[in-house]
Amino acid sequence: MEKIKRPKTFKGKVVSDKMPKTRVVKIERYQKIPKYGKYVKMSKRFKAHDESNEYKVGDLVIIQETKPISRDKRWKIISKI
């Protein structure tokens, strides 16, 4: 049995900075469709905590899983790439 690595981290792009202390980060990945054998780009958006309002739209960032901060926020921004 393989051990699950915690906390999870992802690389993504900031797509919204309109909320105070919150950034919306879009994560893109490729997933193989078994029936056709081709890869499709999938994406998901996460709300991440940014205490100092430091990151702006278009920044590439690393987000890390954390305890729930609000109803939707379970991630925090660690650093800029």
Residue 41 Rama label (left phi>0; alpha psi -120 to 50; beta): beta
Indicate whether 5 pLDDT > 80. Answer: no
Q: What are 18-59's pLDDT values in tens digits? A: 999 999 999 999 999 999 999 999 999 999 999 999 999 999
As a dihedral over the C-alpha atoms of residue 21, residue 30, residue 58, residue 79, rounded to 10 degrees, the angle is 50
pTM (two decimals): 0.89
* pLDDT at residue 38, rounded to an integer: 97
- Residue range 62-66: mean pLDDT, rounded: 97
Top-level class of domain 9-80: mainly beta
